Amino acid sequence: MKKKCDINLVRTIDLAHQMIELAQTGYEQREDPSCGVLYGILLDSGYRLLDLAQKETHAHRQKGWWDHSIRKEALE
């Protein structure tokens, strides 16, 4: 049985990757310093969120909770 918490972790990892990608694009296309601050915060937040979600995923694997097929189903 798939755990909803694991599905949410996969979705969080995907969201963090999207945040990082947007921050990098936004920073490259910025037109003033305040945009640089915004995208710097978004980038930092994305990396922090990614780190936390990956650590939690590892903890679930250590507990034997993680279903390796969950990756495909989480995004459906």
Task: Kindly tell me if the per-residue pLDDT of 75 is higher than 60.
Answer: no
- Asked if the structure places residue 74 within a domain, the reply is no
Q: Say if 70 falls within a structural domain.
A: no
Q: Classify residue 40: in a domain, yes or no.
A: yes
| Assigned domain for 76 exists | no
- Encode pLDDT of 8-54 as tens digits: 999 999 999 999 999 999 999 999 999 999 999 999 999 999 999 99
17-26: long-range contacts (C-beta < 8 A, 24 or more apart)? 17/46, 17/50, 18/46, 19/43, 19/45, 19/46, 19/49, 20/46, 20/47, 20/50
Domain count, the chain: 1
Task: Please report whether residue 73 resides in a domain.
Answer: no
Q: Which domain holds residue 27?
A: 4-64
Looking at the whole model, is its pTM more than 0.75? yes
Question: For residue 69, is it within any domain?
Answer: no
Cβ contacts of 24 within 8 Å, gap of 6 or more:
39, 43
